């Protein structure tokens, strides 16, 4: 029997690499061979890279080997130019070596892959690493709703009803629909993606979600064959089928393990975990308010603060009130988030609502306080609060800040015995459903 051979192609960003690698591991477990493809710069920075039988790496130069500028249109263009050549060479070489590629799996900013796959006569599948609901929203935006959304995207009273989705206001839309959007080239990439998917007969879309979570959204678009294949997190924290699978293996930043000993010393459901992802950067004023809110909570906390070094100071040291913060909590530049969330000491997750973080929070059964920044995050916050009912959304002040007292209010509501009881029950229910 001929062994299946998949090319799994990932955009060179942490939030894309992690689920892509996890999906690659799943394919290997069913006997397939996987060639994992990403840029040289990302591959060089990947720590704890999985070394598994059946998994090979084929990094390529994207023209930015010192590190990409992820929001730069020139980089996106160069990635397409270099990536197309690299994928073509891989497919041809595999065929010549009698290891013909069965399918190319790609994630969403690599919009050129399905067309290239058609030219190479190789099937392709999109690995969608946001919720199915967000893909639905993009589809409807480009299929009849663009004008009505653009006309009303600054009207707080506007409410949009889309098939299979909850009612949406402008604060729930993906940020690329809003007047404040500075990433018009990203919106054009989503348009290109939808157009390429529509060229196929029932395009295959593999969604990092699970059936119970998004049953309606997964079936909302008749033209696509959307299949839930998530949650894409390490097996040790999900179904336990592979206890050795404790890490995504694609971390682009190293972490220290001191925080795990600290968490293990804390009572159950007592710690507030705070992290805003790998690409979101808060202003110094906003960080100060977050710190003030955490101090006012008087609860132990673990806060991930990833910042570039300034004036020779290490990450985390540039926070104000550091000594006072250390009396209650721990500030780290990076951590193994899924391991942290699954630690019994965690009682609340203050999150930017990136989809990887959101689904990890659901799998861990931790209620959330949401502070969405951009892209799909506002929609994810809507789903957390109003559909899955496992958390609250932080309100912004007139200055556009989350004030310390607002953070305290939401954290206390989630963690207090009576006020947060329903959210904690719902979080536990989704945990059970996610783990099957």
Give residue 280's pLDDT band: very low, low, confident or very high (50, 70, 90). Answer: confident
**Which residues neighbour 49 within 8 Å (Cβ) at sequence distance 6 or greater?**
43, 57, 249, 250
- Which of 176, 173, 153, 171 lies closest to 162 in space, CA to CA? 173
Residue 231: asked if its preceding bond is cis (omega within 30°), the reply is yes
- C-alpha 93/C-alpha 113 separation (Å) is 18
Among the listed residues 5, 16, 33, 352, the single catalytic one is 16
Beta strands in 159-214 (DSSP E): 203-207
- C-alpha 436/C-alpha 433 separation (Å) is 5
Collapsing DSSP to helix, strand or coil, 54 comes out as coil
Q: Give me the pLDDT at residue 184, please.
A: 74
Q: Give me the pLDDT at residue 317, please.
A: 47
What angle (nearest 5°) sits at the alpha carbon of residue 181, between those of residues 288 and 142?
140
Domains parsed from the chain with CATH numbers: 5-132+175-228 (3.40.50.2000), 254-434 (3.40.50.2000)
For the chain, the distance separating the N- and C-terminal CA atoms, rounded to the nearest angstrom, is 31
Average pLDDT, the chain: 92
Strands 301-304 and 329-332: parallel
Average pLDDT of 281-295?
94
Burial zone of 10 (CB within 10 Å; 0-12 exposed, 13-18 middle, 19+ buried): buried
User: Which residues, in sequence order, are bridge partners of residue 47?
Assistant: 251
CA 31 to chain centre: 27
Give residue 414's pLDDT band: very low, low, confident or very high (50, 70, 90). Answer: very high
Q: Are 24 and 137 in contact (CB under 8 A)?
A: no
pLDDT at 47 over 70: no
Task: List the alpha helices (DSSP H) in 141-280.
Answer: 146-152, 184-198, 215-218, 258-264
Lowest mean pLDDT among 69-83, 184-198, 388-402: 69-83
- Which letter, b or e, does each residue of 76-109 get, where b requires 16 or more Cβ atoms within 10 Å of its Cβ? bebbbebbbebbeebbeebeeeeeebbbbbbbbb
Q: For 199-243, how does the pLDDT look when each residue is reduced to its tens digit (9 = 90+)?
A: 999 999 999 999 999 999 999 999 999 999 999 999 889 888 788
User: Which residues, in sequence order, are bridge partners of residue 302?
Assistant: 273, 330
- Which of 166, 205, 202 lies closest to 381 in space, CA to CA? 166
Query: Which range has the top average pLDDT, 248-252, 291-295, 308-312?
Result: 291-295
User: Annotated catalytic, 16?
Assistant: yes
Q: What is the phi/psi pair of residue 35, to 5°? A: -105, 115
**Region at 144 (left for phi over 0; alpha for psi -120 to 50; beta for the rest):** left
Q: Give me the pLDDT at residue 67, please.
A: 66
Average pLDDT of 387-401?
97
Q: Give me the pLDDT at residue 312, please.
A: 43
- Which of 407, 373, 374, 368 lies closest to 389 in space, CA to CA? 368
- DSSP H or E stretch at residue 407: helix 404-415
- C-alpha 245/C-alpha 252 separation (Å) is 18
Q: Give me the pLDDT at residue 251, please.
A: 55
pLDDT at 71 over 90: no
Q: Give me the pLDDT at residue 281, please.
A: 84
Locate 398 and state its tokens.
């007139």
Prediction pTM value = 0.94
pLDDT at 405 over 90: yes
pLDDT at 253 over 60: no
Place of tokens 């409807």: 140
The fraction of the chain above a pLDDT of 70, given in percent, is: 92
* For helices 421-434 and 355-364, angle between their N-to-C axes, nearest 10 degrees: 100
Q: Are 64 and 72 in contact (CB under 8 A)?
A: no
Collapsing DSSP to helix, strand or coil, 331 comes out as strand
Place of tokens 């506007």: 158
Q: Are 61 and 31 in contact (CB under 8 A)?
A: no
Q: Give me the pLDDT at residue 70, please.
A: 55
Give residue 244's pLDDT band: very low, low, confident or very high (50, 70, 90). Answer: confident
Collapsing DSSP to helix, strand or coil, 120 comes out as coil
Q: Between residues 309 and 419, which one has the greater pLDDT?
A: 419
Q: Give me the pLDDT at residue 254, please.
A: 56
């Amino acid at each position: 029997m001929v062994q299946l051979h998949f090319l799994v192609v990932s955009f060179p960003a942490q939030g894309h690499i992690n689920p892509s690698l996890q999906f690659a591991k799943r394919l290997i477990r069913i006997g397939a061979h996987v060639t994992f493809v990403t840029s040289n710069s990302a591959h060089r920075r990947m720590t704890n890279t999985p070394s598994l039988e059946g998994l090979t790496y084929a990094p390529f130069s994207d023209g930015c080997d010192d590190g990409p500028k992820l929001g730069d249109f020139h980089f996106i263009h160069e990635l397409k130019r270099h990536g197309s050549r690299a994928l073509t060479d891989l497919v041809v070489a595999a065929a010549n070596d009698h290891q013909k590629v069965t399918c190319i799996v790609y994630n969403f900013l690599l919009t050129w892959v399905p067309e290239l796959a058609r030219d190479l006569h190789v099937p392709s599948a999109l690995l969608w690493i946001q919720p199915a609901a967000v893909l639905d929203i993009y589809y409807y935006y480009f299929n009849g709703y663009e004008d009505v959304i653009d006309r009303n995207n600054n009207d707080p009273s506007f409410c949009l009803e889309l098939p299979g989705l909850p009612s949406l206001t402008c604060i729930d839309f993906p940020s690329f629909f809003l007047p404040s959007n500075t990433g018009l080239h990203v919106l054009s990439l989503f348009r290109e993606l939808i157009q390429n998917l529509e060229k196929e007969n029932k395009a295959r879309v593999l969604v990092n979600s699970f059936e119970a979570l998004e049953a309606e959204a997964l079936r909302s678009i008749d033209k696509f064959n959307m299949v839930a294949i998530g949650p894409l997190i390490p097996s040790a924290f999900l179904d336990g089928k592979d206890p050795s699978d404790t890490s995504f293996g694609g971390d682009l930043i190293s972490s220290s393990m001191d925080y795990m000993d600290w968490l293990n010393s804390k009572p159950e459901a007592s710690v507030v975990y705070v992290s805003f992802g790998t690409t979101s950067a808060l202003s110094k004023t906003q960080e100060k308010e977050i710190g003030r809110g955490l101090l006012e909570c008087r609860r132990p906390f673990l806060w991930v603060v990833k910042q570039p070094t300034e004036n020779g100071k290490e990450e985390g040291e540039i926070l104000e009130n550091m000594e006072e913060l250390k009396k209650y909590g721990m500030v780290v530049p990076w951590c193994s988030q899924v391991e942290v969330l699954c630690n019994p000491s965690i009682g609340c997750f203050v999150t930017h609502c990136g989809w990887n973080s959101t689904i990890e929070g659901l799998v861990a059964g931790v209620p959330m306080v949401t502070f969405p920044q951009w892209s799909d995050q506002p929609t994810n916050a809507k789903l957390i609060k109003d559909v899955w009912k496992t958390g609250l959304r932080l309100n912004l002040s007139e200055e556009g800040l989350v004030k310390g007292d607002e953070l305290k209010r939401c954290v206390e509501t989630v963690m207090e015995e009576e006020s947060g009881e329903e959210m904690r029950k719902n979080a536990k229910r989704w945990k059970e459903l996610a783990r099957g």
